[in-house]
Amino acid sequence: MERGAMQIFVDKEGPESLTRQVYNGIRQQILTGMLPPGRQLPASRKLAAELGIARNVILDAYDLLYAEGFIRSAQGSGTYVAEGAMYSPSPEPEAVAAEPVHMGYDTPAGKINFRSGTPDLSLFPVKIWLQLLREGHVRYSVEALGYGHPEGRPELRQAIREYVVANRGVRCHPDQIVITAGTTQAIGITARLLLAERREVVVEDPITRDIRLIITNLGGRIRPVEVGDKGLMTDRLPTTPPAFIYVTPSHQYPVGVTMPIQQRLELLRYAERTSAYVIEDDYDSEFRFDGPPISSLHSLNPERVVYIGTFSKTLCPAIRTGYLILPPQLITRGREQKWHSDLHNVTATQLALARFIAGGHYQQHLGRMKRLYGQRRQVVVKALADLFGNRAQVLGSATGLHLCVRFPGIVFNAERLAEIEHRGARFYPAAAHAAQTRAYDDSLIIGYGNLQPEEIRAGLVILRTVI
Ligand SMILES: Cc1ncc(COP(=O)(O)O)c(C=O)c1O
């Protein structure tokens, strides 16, 4: 460690370069006023000799200080501390006091977590995925590292188009598709597109709380319409034309019912009459256990329906990839909204996913997961019957990664849920998603996608102990 007359310390073995050390030493003294404005700095040769380091190091440090305005040089008469560079910096913060955002579904350590909508994360096809990511980088290397287009890669839009045409009865051109960061972003984009002259948004009650929050954050006024055993109760739709109607017709979230054709047509007629768009959130219909997925609402009127799909349930939420299928009149503005949100999705992920679908891996994965979730659903249904008999009433259709269960006479308030969690399992109340109806105070959403059969049974035993 060398110390010069200027109170600078240099450590020749230290991790910082010598130039950086000299620069920092002088800079700090100027900022704190130890070296006041107008003070002459030693000649580079002299300071180098004092510190026992090369003169070039001092010259480089002076250059940096000069470039940042800390010092000035007067022609032929040396280097001086500049005016106006004194500042007392605030002390280093010891720890940042940032409150976590309470989303209501953090991962509780050591608890059996019945959170809905999470697929079995341990079965994500990591090997083939990494292989495709790697191949994508090799094949597309340079081009794929630059900026892309907001609507997403043509390879992925083409692959999604083929998938939705074959499996969801959707009729669309790849150019109607915009790749998004999940349903979450797709809802934001749609709301920004459609919340102009009209502010009211019809949503199913109950519906995912996050969806309501996104819409209200963007200036929408929520108009909840109750869900019955045929989905959204179309005879209760408001007479005032809404900006749009948000529905989950294939598998209502969280109740689980499927909207029959009569209600679908009723909804579409209403949308036509009021010149409103219908947003179809088709988040998990791939996992319909009694047969192939039922057709989309979109297939009935592609001009009126904005379709939203996601890979969060079929692959994993962290992939943050979903898509919007827009009617032709909304495509340009939809692309602009995506551009203004985040430019575009990560290119490498898009290319890997395109090849994952086109190569048949997606269908194969879906088939495997559908069998598995079907078995897990059976485990839940059987355990509920064994443990609760007719005190537990399963609502909804046989689809997806969760089911909604009613326990007549029981109220799932915060104390009861805390008691269950204390004993080792976390359950989620359906009432958290209700906008105004109190009809779900006795209901739980039981997510089974990411739980092993023995965990499911153990969790339901805990539930029985408490209720
Ligand atoms: C109704 C509904 N749609 C879609 C999603 C998926 O959201 P994302 O695609 O942003 O992960 C969820 C997630 O829980 C949901 O509850």
pLDDT score at 1: 46
| Element counts in the chain: helices (H) and strands (E) | 13, 19
What span, in angstroms and rounded, lies between the C-alpha atoms of 421 and 120? 21
Residue listed under structure tokens 């379709």: 307
The minimum-distance atom of ligand 1 relative to the CA of 186 is 10
> Residue 80: which residues within 8 A CB-CB, separation 6 or more?
38, 39, 40, 41, 71, 72, 73, 74
What span, in angstroms and rounded, lies between the C-alpha atoms of 401 and 398? 10
Q: How distant is the alpha carbon of residue 389 from its chain centre?
A: 38
The verdict on the CB of residue 182 being under 6 Å from ligand 1 is: yes
Which two tokens mark 122? 């341990």
What span, in angstroms and rounded, lies between the C-alpha atoms of 70 and 86? 9
Going by the DSSP 8-state scheme, the letter that residue 329 receives in this structure is G
Which two tokens mark 93? 């913060």
pLDDT score at 104: 67
What span, in angstroms and rounded, lies between the C-alpha atoms of 35 and 175? 64
- For 154-203, how does the pLDDT look when each residue is reduced to its tens digit (9 = 90+)? 999 999 999 999 999 999 999 999 999 999 999 999 999 999 889 999 99
pLDDT score at 2: 46
Short-list 315, 317, 280, 322, CA closest to 297: 280
Going by the DSSP 8-state scheme, the letter that residue 70 receives in this structure is S
The verdict on the CB of residue 184 being under 6 Å from ligand 1 is: yes
> Residue 35: which residues within 8 A CB-CB, separation 6 or more?
6, 26, 29, 41, 81
> From ligand 1's centre to the CA of 238, what distance in Å?
26
Peptide bond into 317 cis (omega under 30): no
Going by the DSSP 8-state scheme, the letter that residue 408 receives in this structure is T
Residues with pLDDT less than 70, the chain: 1-5, 89, 104-105, 141, 437
The verdict on the CB of residue 322 being under 6 Å from ligand 1 is: yes
> From ligand 1's centre to the CA of 283, what distance in Å?
6
- For 362-407, how does the pLDDT look when each residue is reduced to its tens digit (9 = 90+)? 999 999 999 999 999 999 999 999 999 999 999 977 899 999 999 9
Q: Which residue of 179, 203, 248, 283 sits with most ligand 1 atoms within 8 Å of its CB, as the best mutation to test the pocket?
A: 283
In this structure, are residues 345 and 321 in contact, taking their beta carbons and an 8 Å threshold?
yes
In this structure, are residues 423 and 111 in contact, taking their beta carbons and an 8 Å threshold?
no
The three-class DSSP label of residue 82 is coil
